[in-house]
Amino acid sequence: MPIFVRTSEPKNGLLALLVCLWLMTFPSVGHAQQSTSANLFQTVRPEVFVVVRKHSTGADLVEITMVDPTYPPGLLRERVNKLGEYLGSPVRGVFVSDPKMPGYAGSTKATFGVDGIMQNGKFRLTPVARAFAGIDSPNEISGISVVFEKQTPNADTVKDYRSDAVDVQADSQPGSIGIEYRISLKDQNPSHIEIPDSALAVTTGPNQIVPRGGPDTATYVLIGLAAVAVGALVYSLTLRGPRRR
């Protein structure tokens, strides 16, 4: 699927603000700290933010933003396609921004539609984690933030999961923020990464939400920016018409 590169971005200033806020929160942006601490929101620094919204048609609208402003757009496109492969659903309406465009002050990001991340009330984190595993240095990803907007946890929601390959923790915020998962990749082999979709399969400890320990300004700013980008994505998919199953 070809990349559509935007030639203009009205929210460049806001994207630059996001990056600045993140750098202020973590002065040295690097790989996620792999820690056994109970609160991953205090120990894991995401290198990628994923925001997922459920559209009225049933499709999942996704925006992926890389923290590194020099992240290669072609590599991000590969990760988007990988996500579609792991979900078993083709990605649609893909737009990838290129920070090397003249006058562009934002980070590399992608917006697209896909099916199966939110499915039957469950949140499928395994395909997302696998899609960003196994990338060669210096673009290796160890920390991921995944936000499911306007979603609330229930008794079957995975809230905390630890294994030899991955650590996962959820945080729930009221209003439009919804549920945020912080993921630490401890193993870069995608086949070793498995995150349960149901709380009934979690046997590694108490399945409960641990407060993040303080506001995450960068996450809130990201949610606002994603709303603008996803609005354009919905318009694009609408122009394409209904998809044949």
State which residues form the domain around 120: 12-29+38-240
What is the b/e burial string over 67-86, where b = at least 16 CB atoms within 10 angstroms of the residue's CB?
A: bbbebebeebbebbbbbbeb
Whether 2 maps to a domain, the answer reads no
Q: Evaluate whether residue 178 is within a structural domain.
A: yes
Q: Does any domain span residue 4?
A: no
Nearest to 135 by CA among 37, 87, 66: 66
Number of domains within the chain: 1
Please report, as a single letter, which amino acid is at residue 238.
T
| In a domain? residue 183 | yes
pLDDT digits (tens, 9 = 90+) for 46-75: 999 999 999 988 999 999 999 998 899 999
φ, ψ for residue 41, nearest 5 deg: -70, -15
Residue 221 lies in a domain: yes
**Model pLDDT for residues 165-183, shown as the tens digit of each residue:** 999 999 998 776 799 999 9
* 24 domain residue, yes or no: yes
Domain assignment present for 43: yes
Predicted confidence (pLDDT) per residue in 118-137, tens digit? 988 899 999 999 999 999 99
Residue 5: inside a domain: no
